[in-house]
Amino acid sequence: MDKDSILILSGGLDSTTLLHYMKDRIACALSFDYGSNHNSREIECASWHCKELGIQHIVIPLGFMKDYFKSSLLEGAGNIPKDEYDMENMKSTVVPFRNGIMLSVACGLAESRGLSHVMMANHGGDHSIYPDCRPEFTKAMSEAMKAGTYNGVTLIDPFTHKSKGDIAAIGAKLGVDYSHTYSCYCGGEKHCGTCATCRERKEAFRVAGLEDPTDYEE
């Protein structure tokens, strides 16, 4: 199969699964260093999987987001909510229009290289909290990308109606080594185990019936 796509790869569970799921079509994986608490640990994981699969990995620096954007995810571990992954707790972790920014950069790079698609691992569990993960957004964004490029670049987001548990089950079948993925919004050496994203991660492994390979703080 032709390598016709660029993947947005954070190094978390979802996008790492998509990397393995679509590896034959991915010409290049893009990670973004935007100054979040857990950015460097995520990118290290992203790099590990790209190396394993022989896929080019590019890290795009977006340091201005930490300087100018408002989000608890950019303000240190002490500001991350430590309860359930629900609407009110997680709203503070939204990084405004982050997916729009990452998709636009990936789209420009795809156009530069004559590629046809950008892939992203947004999933059903994120829709209620993150407006830039919802199907209304991804559909309009794909149309903007198509209209705004000579190549007619479009978005492929195969997990948009799946849960994080579904995604972990897909990855398990593909043999993805999830010990080299990072989710914790606090960004410590070990996953904290108590922030909302750690809870969501644990739940995904439980629902998928997998042993959780993560070394949690608590």
Q: How many CA atoms lie within 13 A of 7 on its CB side?
A: 29
> How remote is the C-alpha of 140 from its chain's centroid?
19
Q: How far is the CB of 44 from its own copies (least distance, A)?
A: 19
Interior CA angle at 123 toward 6 and 181, to 5°? Answer: 70
When binding is defined by CB under 8 A, the residue of 23, 49, 123, 134 that contacts its own copies is 134
Quote the DSSP letter at residue 131. Answer: G
Task: Report the C-alpha gap between 16 and 29 in whole angstroms.
Answer: 10
Contact between 112 and its own copies per CB under 8 A: yes
Site string for its own copies, 156-175 (x = CB under 8 A): --------------------
Q: Are the C-beta atoms of residues 77 and 189 closer than 8 Å to each other?
A: no
Percent helix, strand, coil in the chain (nearest 5)? 50, 10, 40
Site string for its own copies, 15-54 (x = CB under 8 A): ----------------------------------------
Task: Report the C-alpha gap between 189 and 201 in whole angstroms.
Answer: 16
Q: Are the C-beta atoms of residues 168 and 175 closer than 8 Å to each other?
A: no
The stretch among 11-19, 77-85, 111-119, 176-184 that binds its own copies (CB under 8 A) is 111-119
When binding is defined by CB under 8 A, the residue of 15, 99, 160, 197 that contacts its own copies is 99
Q: How far is the CB of 45 from its own copies (least distance, A)?
A: 21
The stretch among 36-44, 46-54, 63-71, 76-84 that binds its own copies (CB under 8 A) is 63-71
Please say which residue, 136 or 211, places its beta carbon nearer to its own copies.
Answer: 136
Task: Report the C-alpha gap between 13 and 15 in whole angstroms.
Answer: 6
CB count in 10 Å sphere of residue 10: 25
When binding is defined by CB under 8 A, the residue of 14, 42, 132, 157 that contacts its own copies is 132
Task: Report the C-alpha gap between 162 and 169 in whole angstroms.
Answer: 11
The stretch among 36-44, 142-150, 161-169, 180-188 that binds its own copies (CB under 8 A) is 142-150
Interface residues toward its own copies, by CB under 8 A: 58, 60-61, 63-65, 68-71, 94-101, 103-105, 107-109, 111-113, 131-132, 134, 136-137, 140-141, 143-150, 153
